Structure 1
Amino acid sequence: MKKVLFGTTTLVAAGLISSTAFAGDVTSKDNLQLSIGGKMEQYFGGVGSFGDGGREDGMGINTDTEVYVNGMTTLDNGITVKAVIQLEAQTNSTINADEQYVELSGSFGRIQAGQKEDAASQLAVTAPTVGYVSINDTYTWLGAPVNGGTFAGGDTTWSSDDATVSYFTPSFYGFTGAVSYTPNPGGALVPGRGRGRDHVFMSVGYSNEFSGVGIDADVGSRIDTSQNAWGIRSGLNLSYAGFTVGGSFMGIAGDDTSETYVWDAGLSYAVGPYAVGFTYGQNDGAQQDGGATGVGHEASYMVGGSYNMGPGISLVGNVFYATMDGEKAAGNNDTRDGVGAVAGVVLAF
């Protein structure tokens, strides 16, 4: 959903997988096996504002449809090789591939190379959310005020599908360590130029269960070596008898970068095919040194529900209240708040 190395990457990768899948057996126990899957999400909703921020209210439709092509085999030395291509299918998308990467796994752990979110984002634990609409989505549906200053959304991860190399250790008593390197955020897997390059991510994740109580947690960091900027994030979820409670925090700061502090908290309950939940998120985006950039404050309250109609078919819905305040932005249209409702059907195949 972010960036693509080259427009032809998908065709080349698909060709390689197809040719290998039907080639003679050379070093693997079996030929590279192909599998196809995907998802289709269709949402309908609308928003009504109390403070319009220079924007209009109304109804809208959102869609997210992807086709997954996976190839996997296990070599004679025990190493599993997997190739993943996720194709965007909706017509309003200008990106032909969401993710495309190769993964090698074995007793040594896992190595990923390609367009895939960083390791810290993959291990990230966030507040339980029900309904498939995230805190960040509520701001997208409401729409930022015209003169709203700087807003960073409600995501407590650094998730992006930039060209990245990642390594994950084997799990040890529930602990997994990981590190990622992104040389050119927003670009190809080649040396970058200018500021904002060379991002390094490190994370430790934990997942275990004791006497029916599930524990999922993580602590991660991001270092932007070209700007002397850094970020930290952490999350914790506890689950028992269908209940899950938890939250997460992310902060970014640096010598000449805008400071951002985002956190979320939530509670959900699932029984049989039904699930309900409440999630709260807040973003306090600060300013560059000297106060050159307007401060942005965001908050969202969201209730969600879902019903699993059958394998791979779910009905989902969310009702939310969100507010965005530019605080230091010039002009009158620097705040917007309102309520919204979104319902949809989610298919996984």
Structure 2
Amino acid sequence: MKKQLLCTSAIALGVAAAPASAQDWNLDWGGFFQQHIAYADVGGTGVGASDFDGIQMLTNAEIIFTPNITLDNGMTFGINVQMEALNGGGGTDGIDESYMSISSDTFGRIDAGYENSAGYKMMVGAPQVGSMAINSPSASAFIPFDGAYDGGGGGNFRQAGLSSYTEVAGNNDVARISYYTPSFSGFTAGISYAPSGAGNAQNIFPVDRNVGLVDIFDLGVNYSQSFGTTDITLAARWGTGDLQGAGSDPETWGVGFQVGFSGFTFGASYAENSNPGNFDEEGYSVGVAYDAAGPWTFGLEAYLGEIEDGSAVTHDDYEFYKLAANRDLGPGVSWTTYLLYGETTDGPTGSSIDGTAIGTAINLSF
């Protein structure tokens, strides 16, 4: 299948010793723009007096700045700043991620700044065809989630109840430093540390280690290799942090794989979040994609998640399914059509919202 890459101390390396006078900065930039339109039919007891039936629209777009320079010693220095193309996106001022990278073929890579963890970035799951993700909260743009599906009021963004791409207690794009090893015969490892779980692409200082989620560690491993006509990718991650005032520490872990041959790609993932207060989450993705001869790719995918409080009182469920086709129209231009079905249920009340959406999108990547 057509593949897309999702997208410590440097002083000790002596990287500043070589002059940079012979090089010029590559003032690179790019981004993406996805425009969706869908017809939705939504029902269930959780809808109440609302009416979500009819045509809905979703825009997902970013401008990404990636200037970089490679010195005579082979070290590359660069930044990645991702600006949301809509008001209210990313952080307070619309910046999603902002970090510096230092890398070389022999050293590996350091990322320092506001970014997701190594565990998050190295995970893999069911193949996604087209631009509408169900291994994430994105589908709620057309089929809203039941208001009670929230982990007891704590939310579950970046947690396994909604996605196998998890973070410890759902922290996201906080100040973090990560190191990734070079690839050794397809094997790569990464480790991350974040002083605090607060601050989405914004400075929070100094960190008070008596408040909130602090000292977050994440580990990730990824193995990707080809054997003849078969491509294999395996991934695993684990992370933990210290939540002040809680009786236990939050944790997350997950595993995933993809196997591709003869135009087919099969994949799956499983993840868990253990949170103090016993609101634990788990979920898994499973799916298959087929890269047909010519410009078309087809896919069938599912994500199922749940939230438990350790008793019979709360058992919230999430299930979404997607059938999709994607056609390449030209360099950086594709067209996606999809059929979605989704349902979220609140266990204690029995409240639920379910719906079906038929959608299409034009995707631009530049």
Structure 1 residue 158 corresponds to structure 2 residue 166: yes
Specify the alignment match of 2:179 in structure 1.
Answer: 167
Partner of 1:123: 122
1:212 paired residue number: 229
Structure-2 separation of matches of 1:26 and 1:170: 24
Amino acid at match of 2:242: T
Distance 1:235 1:146, change over 3 A: closer
Distance in 2, Cα, partners of 1:180 & 1:92: 28
The residue correspondences of 1:133-152 to structure 2 (distance < 5 A) are: 133-135=132-134, 136=136, 137-148=138-149, 150=151, 152=156
User: Would the aligned equivalents of 1:229 and 1:257 in 2 still touch at CA under 8 Å?
Assistant: no
Identity of aligned residues (%): 25
Give the Cα separation in 2 of the matches to 1:321 and 1:27. Answer: 54
Instruction: Name the CA distance, whole Å, in 1 between partners of 2:316 and 2:124.
Output: 25
- 1:56 pairs with one of 34, 43, 51: 51
- Give the structure-1-normalised TM-score: 0.85
Equivalent position amino acid for 2:300 in 1: F
Uncovered stretches (5+) of structure 2, i.e. residues with no partner: 1-17
Q: CA deviation at 1:214?
A: 0.3
Partner of 1:183: 195
What do residues 75-117 of structure 1 show as CA deviations (whole Å, max 9, x unaligned)?
A: 2222111111121222454533111111001211100001111
Q: For 1:145 and 1:35, how far apart are their aligned partners in 2?
A: 42
**Structure 1 match to 2:363:** 346
**Cα displacement string for residues 99-142 of structure 1 (whole angstroms, at most 9, x for unaligned residues):** 11110012111000011111111111011111211113224421
Q: Secondary structure at the match of 1:100?
A: strand
Out of 251-260 and 296-305, give the one that drifted further. 251-260
For structure 1, the 5+ residue unaligned runs are 1-24
Aligned to 2:68: 72
In structure 2, C-alpha distance between the alignment counterparts of 1:325 and 1:87, rounded to whole Å: 34
Greater Cα shift, 233-242 or 57-66: 57-66
Alpha-carbon distance between aligned partners in 1 of 2:192 and 2:204, rounded to the nearest angstrom? 13
2:111 equivalent in structure 1: 112
Aligned equivalent of 2:343: 323
The Cα shift of 1:27 comes to 2.9
1:302 is aligned to: 322
State the SS of the aligned residue for 2:119.
helix
How far 1:250 sits from its partner (Å)?
0.6
Q: Does residue 220 of structure 2 align to residue 203 of structure 1?
A: yes
* TM-score, scaled relative to structure 2: 0.82
User: Number of residues paired by the alignment?
Assistant: 320
Amino acid at match of 1:70: T
Q: Secondary structure at the match of 2:142?
A: helix
1:250-269: CA deviation from partner (whole Å, max 9, x where unpaired) = 10114534100010100000
The 2-side partners of 1:121 and 1:66 are apart by: 20
| RMSD of aligned alpha carbons | 2.1
1:192 positional shift: 4.3
Aligned residues of 1:104 and 1:112 also touching (Cα < 8 A):
yes
Deviations 1:15-67 (A, max 9, x none): xxxxxxxxxx9535402220121211111113212424124223221112221
Structure 2 equivalent of residue 280 of structure 1? 302
Q: Is the alpha carbon distance of 1:105 and 1:319 closer, same or farther for their aligned partners in structure 2, counting shifts above 3 Å?
A: same
